[in-house]
A and B are shown apart, each in its own frame.
Chain A
């Protein structure tokens, strides 16, 4: 049973539209992440947060923005979608502590911009 939820699972939208991808986790994790993955490629970190009101950009430049107003919620927003934004977006979270804190992933949102 998933403890981290992403909606929608699939989204097809036209160019120029504003979209928000939702991500919520029920594990009380402080750290949350957004990864972007194209088919057959590695996962690239685009945003992360270490807690409420903390957001940072990842190693892959992205035109999306994120917010962290509540611990459990980490939405990603694209103000004006473009075909180049077509990809799979994966949200993840992790708890505190050293050594044994692997990421827990949601099932992803597959975005297609036409």
Chain B
């Protein structure tokens, strides 16, 4: 049973517009959530994270929102740029140390068109 789900395998957005990537989870013990970005032929790179004690975390063009009651988080990229085109993975952890036992979603491929 997949505990972290990204139901949209792909998303296409025009440059300058907002990209919204969604992630749902089922395990109520998860308390730390991360987004990773992956280019082809490279390993994932850490993008942004959020603890369950918060409902929003912002870093430049990237904002992550957490809705604990709905077990849902989203990543907003504003404005989207062609260089943002990549696969985005949502991940969740069951304790305060994000390095422990991350459970990943299946990824969403974002394509930002010039």
Contacts and interface: CB of A to CB of B under 8 A. Distances in A.
B96 to A, nearest CB: 4
Interface string B15-30: 0000000000000000
Interface stretch (A11-19, A40-48, A75-83): A40-48
A102 B96 CA distance: 11
B70 interface: no
Contacts of B9: 40
A40 to B, nearest CB: 7
A6 B9 CA distance: 27
Contacts of A44: 104
B97 A43 contact: no
Contacts of B100: 31, 94
Interface string B31-64: 0101010000111111001010000000000000
B104 A100 contact: no
B42 A103 contact: no
B98 A102 contact: yes
B104 A105 contact: no
A21 interface: no
B43 A42 contact: no
Interface in A17-62: 31, 35, 40-45, 48
B44 to A, nearest CB: 5
Contacts of A94: 97-100
Given A42-B89, A99-B96, A102-B49, A90 B43 contact: yes
B101 A99 contact: no
Contacts of A105: 36, 43-45
A24 B46 CA distance: 19
Interface string A83-111: 00000001010110111111111111010
B19 to A, nearest CB: 19
A99 B89 CA distance: 19
Interface of A: 4, 6, 9, 31, 35, 40-45, 48, 90, 92, 94-95, 97-108, 110
8 contacts: A6-B43, A35-B104, A41-B107, A42-B2, A42-B89, A43-B102, A94-B98, A105-B45
